[in-house]
Chain A
Amino acid sequence: MNQMAHLSINQISPTENQQAVLESFDKTLFLEGPSGSGKTTTALFYLHSLLEQGVPPEKILILVPQRTLATSYYNLLREPYLPASVAISIVTISGLAQRMIDLFWPLIAQNAGFAHPNHLPIFLTLETAQYYMTRIVDPLIEHEGYFESVNLDRNRLYSQILDNLNKSAAVGIPLIEIGERLKKAWGGKPSQLVVYDQMQDCAIRFRRFCLQNNLLDFSLQISIFCNYLWSSFLCRQFLLNRFQFLIYDNIEEDVPVAHDLIRDWLPHFRNALLIYDTDGGYRSFLGADPEEGHTLQSVCQETMHLDQTLVTSPELRIFNEVLVQSIQHRSLIIHPSIRQCLTSRYHRYIPEMIEDVCQQVNRLITEGGVSPGEIVIVAPYISDALRFLLINRMEQLQIPVRSHRPSRNLRDEPATQCLLTWAKLAHPHWNMPVTRLDVRNALVQSIAGLDLTRAELLSQIVHRPGKQTRELGSFDLIKPDMQQRITYFVGERYEHLRRWITNYQSNNNPQNEDNSCLEVFLSRLFGEVLSHPGFGFYRNFDAAKTCTELIESVQKFRRVVSNTHDNSQHSIAVEYLRMIEKGVLAAQYLQSWQEINEETVLIAPAYTYLMLNRPVQYQFWLDIGSLGWWERLNQPLTHPYVLSRRWDENDVWDDVHEQQTNQTAMIRLVSGLIHRCQKGIFLYILGVNEQGNEQRGQLLLAIQSILRHLPPNEEV
Chain B
Amino acid sequence: MSLPPDFLFSQSNLQDFVDCPRRFELRYILKQPWPALQPEPVLEWEQSLLQGLRFHQLILQYLIGMPAEVLTQTIYDHKLQRWWNNFLADNPLGELPSERYPEFTLSSPFAGFRLIAKYDLIAVAPGKRIVIVDWKTGSPRTNPNSLRERIQSRLYPLLLVKAGHHINHGVVNPEQVEMIYWFAEKPSAPFCIQYNQTEYLKDREYITTLITKIASLQLGKFELTPDDRHCAFCNYQTLCNRGKQPGNLEDLEEESYQELEDKIQIDIDQIGAIQF
The residues of A with any CB-CB pair to B shorter than 8 Å are 54, 56-58, 67, 75, 77-87, 89-92, 95-96, 98-99, 102-107, 118-120, 234, 238, 242, 512-514, 517, 519-520, 522-524, 526-528, 531-532, 541, 544-545, 547-549, 551, 569
Contact = CB atoms under 8 A, between A and B. Distances in A.
23 contacts: A57-B166, A77-B107, A78-B6, A80-B6, A84-B106, A86-B167, A91-B272, A103-B276, A105-B74, A106-B61, A118-B74, A118-B76, A119-B74, A238-B65, A242-B276, A512-B41, A514-B42, A514-B43, A528-B37, A544-B34, A548-B33, A548-B35, A569-B43
Given A102-B57, A104-B66, A531-B238, A517 B43 contact: yes
Q: Which of B106, B244, B273 has the most CB of A within 10 A?
A: B273
Contact of A95 (B54, B109, B239, B273): B273
Given A103-B64, A104-B66, A526-B35, 4 more contacts: A84-B163, A106-B66, A106-B70, A544-B239
B127 interface: no
Interface residues of B, number: 56
B42 A520 contact: yes
B105 interface: yes
Given A523-B35, A526-B238, A92 B273 contact: yes
Interface of B: 5-8, 32-38, 40-43, 54, 57, 60-61, 64-66, 70-71, 73-74, 76, 101, 104-109, 112-114, 116, 118, 162-163, 165-167, 237-239, 244-246, 271-276
A643 to B, nearest CB: 26
Contacts of A549: 33
Contacts of A104: 61, 66
Given A522-B35, A526-B238, A90 B273 contact: yes
Contacts of A87: 105-107, 116, 118, 275
A85 B108 contact: yes
Contacts of A551: 35
Contacts of B76: 118-119
A86 B166 contact: yes
A86 B43 contact: no
Among all A-B residue pairs, the 3 with the closest Cβ atoms: A95-B273, A87-B105, A84-B108
A99 B32 contact: no
Contacts of A77: 107
A520 to B, nearest CB: 5
A34 B244 CA distance: 56
B160 to A, nearest CB: 10
Given A85-B106, A103-B61, A541-B32, A67 B114 contact: no
Contact of B272 (A75, A102, A544, A547): A102
B98 to A, nearest CB: 15
Contacts of A99: 271-274, 276
Contacts of A105: 74
A89 B275 contact: yes
A683 B165 CA distance: 55
A95 B273 CA distance: 5
Nearest to A524: B37
B108 to A, nearest CB: 4
A238 B63 CA distance: 11
A531 B105 contact: no
Given A86-B163, A91-B274, A80 B35 contact: no
A527 B35 contact: yes
A56 B35 contact: no
B264 to A, nearest CB: 15
Contacts of B54: 120
B36 to A, nearest CB: 6
A107 B73 CA distance: 12
Contact of B273 (A67, A78, A512, A514): A67
Nearest to A530: B238
Contact of A523 (B32, B38, B114): B38
Nearest to B273: A95
